[in-house]
Structure 1
């Protein structure tokens, strides 16, 4: 079974169509109340990464636990390369804003600027919006399929005790787990090695960034960071 198509506990959903792709219940949680008043229309700054700059930015990483392969950026639309953009917002620096309609994740930097990352997001029927926060973080996390998934997809039973973290684990190298009112929402921001998934709606609710982008966001995101998920 191709592990890139596996569902992760509170993490990634299928990123490429495959007969054995595992699915998970939708995340119809949260509320969009209050989001409408925010000024959240991102405006790209002039310029951006050139192809050669992207090759360097998304090159291999010698991580402490497992080597991280370079991204095949030929499979990523250049508009999804990481960049600094003008993004007027009243949110505090460090706040993460997920815009599933545009397939972007923003980290507010202050002075009306943000770091913008290309993302994959939930497909139709697996989208939710509202306010959450980062309840915990994990490097090379273990994946454990929910009981509901095992009931629907018996092939997932072999991972019932958990799949250790590693390059083939669908949660990837880094994961941010989102919480509301002290409870895990089953929604995460995770790292994906599937370049072609960026800019698409292919998951069952979570948001995936290219691993090199996720390393950047993860390192600058402490627990309790506010996260806003916009309506799609």
Structure 2
């Protein structure tokens, strides 16, 4: 067989194999192609030691000093980290999974930023859908009347008295994001806390708490008037 004949024969064989591969790739039950899971557009997985040191280091923000967080004493599940989006919600949505003590900010491209959170103890929790209608850097804390009725010593921080001054010792921490439902303030917030040991637990009077370094990061990721789902 001449060289030219062998070349023609090999080209024909290659073309046939490519055709067969294309046909197999398009096969599925019922003749419709079944799409696979969306590939994440950003790297996902637990942060490295170097990243953790940087994320939870001491920092200055808004004129206030925040101490470093001893992250090695926290369950690694609750470190801030990017994960594959399994919430089923669209980008820009905030999701709080109260069963796992996780908060997600859903990103475009199949990922979500996940944070560990502390939650309200039994009888002081909230669930449903709402809107993050307002948010504040270094907010004042103004306990509601119901809380003051339970703890009269908090009356000095009432709305009438102007609330508690902002700062690291303020119960709302470095940031607060206020949850509204049907145009009304639910009195529940996403907010910072210096009590890092409470992350992953249910001990507060109902709000969703994050490490101050995490709530600062969250604040910058949540779009205006974001939808929030708590379940």
Q: TM-score, normalised by structure 2?
A: 0.75
Shift in Å at residue 129 of structure 1? 1.5
Alignment of 1:78-117 (within 5 A): 78-117=76-115
Larger Cα-atom Rg: 2
The corresponding residue for 1:124 is: 122
Q: Partners in 2 of 1:171 and 1:207 — Cα distance?
A: 10
Q: Partners in 1 of 2:120 and 2:113 — Cα distance?
A: 21
The corresponding residue for 1:68 is: 66
Relative contact order (alpha carbons < 8 A, sep ≥ 6): 1 or 2 greater?
Answer: 1
Shift in Å at residue 137 of structure 1? 0.5
Q: What is the DSSP-based 3-state SS (H/G/I as helix, E as strand, rest coil) of the residue aligned with 1:218?
A: helix
Structure 1 unaligned blocks of 5 or more: 1-44
CA contact (8 A) 2:45 2:83 kept: no
Q: What is the DSSP-based 3-state SS (H/G/I as helix, E as strand, rest coil) of the residue aligned with 2:107?
A: strand
Q: Partners in 1 of 2:150 and 2:178 — Cα distance?
A: 24
Structure 2 unaligned blocks of 5 or more: 1-42
Q: TM-score, normalised by structure 1?
A: 0.75
Shift in Å at residue 150 of structure 1? 2.4
Aligned residues: 186
The corresponding residue for 2:225 is: 224
The corresponding residue for 1:185 is: 186
CA contact (8 A) 2:45 2:82 kept: no
Structure 1 runs (4+) deviating above 3 angstroms are: none
Shift in Å at residue 228 of structure 1? 0.4
